[in-house]
Every structure is written in C-alpha cells, then in structure tokens.
Homo-oligomer: A and B are copies of this chain.
Amino acid sequence: MTITTVGLDADDTLWHTESLFRLTHQRFTDLLSPHCDPATLEARLAETEKRNLRLYGYGVKGFTLSMIETAMELTDGAVSTTVIREILAVGREMLTEPVEPLPGVDLALASLSERYRLVLITKGDLLHQEQKLAASGLGDLFVAVEIVSEKDADTYRRVFARHGTGPEQAVMAGNSMRSDIIPALDAGAWGALIPYPLVWAHEAAEAPRGHDRYAELGSISELPGWVASLP
C-alpha cells in the first residue's frame, strides 16, 4: 500500500494560532484585572468556552463571544463598556493577524507536494480558515481544503476517500493527538504527530505508543522523510 495522500492540520501545524490565543488571554486578564484575579478569570473563561463549544464551535468569533459573556458574568454586569469594546477590537485583530508559516513548513510542503496529494483538514470558521490559507501563500500546494466541524474517524475516512485513495494510503500530520492522530489511526490511516509547544487543554490525549502506523516527529521538516520511508 503506497502512500498517495498527506492530510495536514492547519492551526499550530502550519502556522501559529495557539500563541495568538494565549496573547489574547493575557490582554483579556489585563483588561479585567480591576475586577478579578487572573487565575479565576482563566478558569471561568475556560468554563464558558467549554459550555459554548457545542453551540459556537471552534474559532475566533465564538471565542470573542465567550470573552464578552465571561466578563459580564464575573463582574455581575459591572464591567465598563470600554472593556467590551476592547474585547471586540481584540477579536477583530485576531481575525486580521498576519499569517506566517512556521519554520520549515514551506520546504516540507513543497517537497511533499511533488509526490503526494496534499489535503488541508482543519476545524474553525470557514471564512477565516480560507483567509488564513490565502494569506499564508501555501494555498497552491494543496489539492483540496476540507474545513470540518469535527475531526473523528468518519471525517478522515470520508476526506481520504474523496480526495485520495482511502485512509490506508494516507498520512495525517498535525499537532493534536486527540484531533489529528487518534481518529486518523482509527480510520486506518497513518499518523504523524508534530508537537507544538502549547497545546490547548481540550486537545490533550494519550500517545498510542507502539502503534505501528504512528510516529512522533521532532518537526515538520522530518515529515517528507518519514512518509517516504513508509511501506
């Protein structure tokens, strides 16, 4: 079974976003510091995000709404409207932040695209993900872009059937064990974890040590060599 298709996660695999979310958390705690200590605020924001996830999904707009809601709740409505306007501005800045590919991404993708069909598989706001891909300059290397609302085994089966030759001949590479690796392995694909220093709390999961279709790589620069080594 020769590999024909390589799926790649986008956020924090091809470019930073988690660090941007962290920076935004910092600005959020600064804005609300007269009302609340940072630890409590972080905990409440995480609760709000989790509660809203089913409704808002992943992405900046839902995150902005959750920040506003948390600010309201924690201050019992005593927060100034200046703070709310600041939160709205922070959200808009996140949406227009320049997109810089992570080190090694350009070269690795250029090399992979010569031999395999590259498919971008990512969660998040449809419009915002398309804008980021366009801004990154990487769009032309992909034969397909799939922006999905959930990453489970069925998603990978469907996407690799549609854009490749099935999961058995596909590699999924990304920074999230829970979203990129485990369900891709479950679907019958290969999985390459490319760790990113910051991992979102919702995304942590156990490594499938000893799994014969799994590898943890040091960086994306190792991906072309690993894919080429597969049977």
Contacts and interface: CB of A to CB of B under 8 A. Distances in A.
A61 to B, nearest CB: 4
A77 B80 contact: yes
A88 interface: yes
Dominant secondary structure at the A interface: helix
A87 B61 CA distance: 15
B72 A84 contact: yes
Interface stretch (A19-27, A63-71, A104-112, A189-197): A63-71
Q: Which of A75, A79, A95, A125 is the most central at the interface, judged by chain B CB atoms within 10 Å of its CB?
A: A125
Kindly report how many copies of this chain are found in the complex they form together: 2
Interface in A38-81: 55-57, 61-62, 64-65, 68-69, 72, 75, 77-81
A88 B61 contact: no
A160 to B, nearest CB: 15
Interface residues of A, number: 32
A181 B95 CA distance: 30
Contacts of A77: 80-82, 85
Contact of A130 (B62, B78, B88, B149): B149
A213 interface: no
A60 to B, nearest CB: 9
A50 to B, nearest CB: 15
A127 interface: yes
Contacts of A75: 81
Nearest to A61: B61
Nearest to A91: B65
A61 B69 contact: no
A88 B68 contact: yes
Contacts of A80: 77
13 contacts: A56-B61, A56-B95, A57-B125, A61-B62, A68-B88, A72-B84, A72-B85, A72-B88, A77-B81, A77-B82, A79-B81, A84-B84, A126-B126
